Amino acid sequence: MGVMNVRRRLIPTAAAAGAVALGLMAVSACSSSSGAADKNGEGKLDVVASFYPMQYLAEEIGGEHVAVSTLTKPGVEPHDLELSPKQTAGLGEADFILYLKGLQPAVDEAVAQSGVKNTVDAAGLTHLEEHGTEVGHDEHAGDKHADEHAEEEGHDHAEAAGDPHIWLDPVKYSEVAKGVGKALEKADPDNAAAYKKNTDVLATKLDGLHTKFEKGLKNTDTRTFITTHAAFGYLAERYDLKQEGISGLDPDSEPSLSRMKDLQKIAKDDKVTTVFFETLVSDKTARTLAGDTGLKTDVLDPLEGITDKSKGDNYIEVMESNLAALEKALGAK
């Protein structure tokens, strides 16, 4: 027989008393009729997602067969999230964990120690690259790109782990979605057909989003955009744009005075119109830079969480708002 599981302890008292009264037979009948050991009381797979873009994948692909909870609460900036002891303990009871290694060190550590069999690292489902505050079409042309990857594979110290913001490129996000679909099929074979179908539906939506971005950003007055933190590196590469982040990959890092000076020059040289800020982090530096340079401000949402203030109710809607904001700022024709 399988290991004693949590569900057995959750049997309502009356039923448990009945089982005791009927002796061992009733207990074994109970455990054999309960199906796969990896389901909760409602027959759903308990999925824990680390933050919103993982939650969205789990909900879209898992559909009615999963119960999704998210470690990063709405409105909380996910970088460097700290977990409560309750969250850490609860993680061990998940049937399936979906996270993104390299974004939230506390989550990475808790997942590694959770003992949960079905853990999926989204970063392992696509290809990560190293990005700094500046990402653009110029510096990624030709050989340099190949060198970077060679270097990435050669060393594995933490700083070379790569830019985790893969979800902001619809093509990479779709790759991740397909990997998550396969992992769910494997973890819960009874519902494999549904997971496969839902994955196809989501991949089609993401393809459509990618086509909209491609068309919308094809012809613009400038290719450069300024963001609060450098979350849009993959998006910039995908659509041949140039991202200039005020701060780096982590929104907590403070921009230096020289970085602010550089940005003033870049804004002028590249005919930048807008400084973008985000919904979950302070807009102070963005507004300062915009004030100093006479530029407009607007929201470009890195989708690290969804709140009432988000320009859309889900990933696709917010990405469409992002596209509209980029088209406006870049002078799309």
Separation of alpha carbons 39 and 52, rounded Å: 23
Residue numbers 2-41 binding Zn ion by CB under 5 A: none
- Report the DSSP beta bridge partners of residue 46: 67
The residue range among 200-208, 226-234, 259-267, 279-287 that interacts with Zn ion, by the rule CB under 5 A, is 226-234
Cα radius of gyration rounded to whole Å, the chain: 23
Closest distance of CB 134 from Zn ion, Å: 16
List C-alpha distances in Å: 37 to 95, 234, 248: 9, 39, 44
Closest distance of CB 253 from Zn ion, Å: 11
Does the footprint of Zn ion cover residue 166 (CB under 5 A)? no
The residue range among 66-74, 223-231, 260-268, 310-318 that interacts with Zn ion, by the rule CB under 5 A, is 223-231
The residue among 231 and 299 lying less far from Zn ion, judged by its C-beta, is: 231
Separation of alpha carbons 160 and 189, rounded Å: 36
Q: Is 285 helix (H, G, I), strand (E, B) or coil?
A: helix
The residue among 116 and 303 lying less far from Zn ion, judged by its C-beta, is: 303
Binding mask 39-78 for Zn ion (x = CB under 5 A): ----------------------------------------
Closest distance of CB 132 from Zn ion, Å: 14
The residue among 165 and 223 lying less far from Zn ion, judged by its C-beta, is: 165
Total binding residues for Zn ion by CB under 5 A?
1
- Report the DSSP beta bridge partners of residue 66: 45
Phi, psi of 249 (to 5 degrees): -70, -25
The residue range among 63-71, 129-137, 229-237, 264-272 that interacts with Zn ion, by the rule CB under 5 A, is 229-237
The residue range among 1-9, 143-151, 228-236, 270-278 that interacts with Zn ion, by the rule CB under 5 A, is 228-236
Separation of alpha carbons 17 and 208, rounded Å: 55
| DSSP code per residue over 47-82 | EEESSHHHHHHHHHHHGGGEEEEESS-TT---TT--
Closest distance of CB 281 from Zn ion, Å: 9
- Residue among 45, 97, 231, 289 that touches Zn ion (CB under 5 A): 231
Q: Which of 64, 316, 66, 55 is nearest to 204 (CA)?
A: 316
Sheet holding 119-121, edge to edge: 66-70, 45-49, 96-99, 119-121
Alpha-carbon torsion, ordered 35, 38, 43, 45, to 10 deg: -150
Closest distance of CB 145 from Zn ion, Å: 22
Binding mask 181-220 for Zn ion (x = CB under 5 A): ----------------------------------------
The residue among 184 and 281 lying less far from Zn ion, judged by its C-beta, is: 281
Chain residues binding Zn ion by CB under 5 A are 231
